Amino acid sequence: YFKGLVGKPPLTGRYTNYTVGGMVLFTGLNADVNVGDVFTSRTGRVMMVMDNAEMETGDNLQKTFVIKILNKQVTWTRQVREKDPITGLDKTTDVKNLGSFWCSFESTGNQIDITHIKLGKYRFICNKELLEGDTLDNKYRVVKVDHLVGVTVADAERA
């Protein structure tokens, strides 16, 4: 539990394309808030704390965090792979359920493959250590993972 103010950032500063509406969280210096923390506001919105910096405002010093509104709760699975003792090749032996989590879910457009099938492209932003090949909601396969502004940004396709 912490107290803070969600608002618009000053016109100067460093913000990225991964912020929603330029929203930031202002807290006191002693607030127990860290990059990657997920919290629910008093109005019921689920939010994630992203990149932070201390900021001076008048006589006060405060922590300022970029925040992301999380709009989807997803299930998470990962294929367990091991080397086949005979062939030496990797093989899938099981699917491990890693639970569920809140994330920002965005469509990043569609692409047509060489067989003229429309492929959806999606982006998931979260505080989990996703890996390429992970499956979200049993229908999205992670194809690329980046770690930016203290969180995971994963691109996915329909599985």
- Pick 151 or 11 by higher pLDDT: 151
pLDDT of residue 19: 46
**CA quadruple 26, 32, 34, 40: dihedral sign:** negative
Q: Is the pLDDT of residue 126 over 80?
A: yes
24 three-state secondary structure: strand
- Pick 136 or 43 by higher pLDDT: 136
Does this model's pTM top 0.95? My answer is: no
User: What is the distance between the alpha carbons of residues 75 and 98, in angstroms, rounded to a whole number?
Assistant: 8
pLDDT of residue 12: 54
pLDDT of residue 86: 85
Of the ranges 36-50, 102-116, 117-131, which one carries the lowest mean pLDDT score? Answer: 102-116
SS (H, E, C) 46-97: EEEEEEEEEEEECCEEEEEEEEEEECEEEEEEEEEEEECCCCCCEEEEEEEE
pLDDT of residue 27: 86
User: What is the distance between the alpha carbons of residues 5 and 27, in angstroms, rounded to a whole number?
Assistant: 7
| Dihedral (Cα; 55, 60, 65, 71), 10-degree rounding | -150
Q: pLDDT tens digits, residue range 96-117?
A: 999 999 999 999 876 666 666 6
- Pick 84 or 145 by higher pLDDT: 145
pLDDT above 90: percentage of residues in the chain: 40
Mean pLDDT of 46-61: 72
